């Protein structure tokens, strides 16, 4: 038995104009020159975001934060 939402999705894919909504993740991704997550993390940014931590701890926390944002964005695009 097919789930009603899957049936609706199959039906929706055959509607006129549905082709324009089919985009792959590469087409929707941010261009590399505009992607701030590709830039190296700096100690100034890390210490400004986490002033209560030491420089090393702030940098590690900032890098984890950036990796989490990257992972979340990649999950949304796929």
42 vs 40: CA distance, rounded Å: 6
HEC-encoded secondary structure of 3-72: CHHHHHHHHHHCCCCHHHHCCCHHHHCCCHHHCHHHCCCCHHHHHHHCCCCCHHHHHHHHHHHHHHHHHH
**DSSP reduced 3-state for 11:** helix
Q: What is the mean pLDDT of residues 45-59?
A: 92
Q: Residue 25 — pLDDT band, cuts 50, 70, 90?
A: low
Whether the pTM exceeds 0.85: the reply is no
């Amino acid at each position: 038995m097919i789930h009603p939402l899957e049936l609706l999705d199959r039906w929706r894919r055959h509607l006129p104009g549905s082709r324009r909504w089919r985009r792959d993740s590469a087409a929707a991704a941010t261009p590399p020159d505009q992607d701030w997550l590709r830039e190296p993390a700096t100690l100034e940014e890390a210490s400004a975001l986490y002033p209560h931590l030491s420089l090393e701890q702030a940098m590690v926390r900032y890098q984890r934060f950036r990796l989490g944002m990257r992972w979340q964005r990649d999950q949304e695009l796929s």
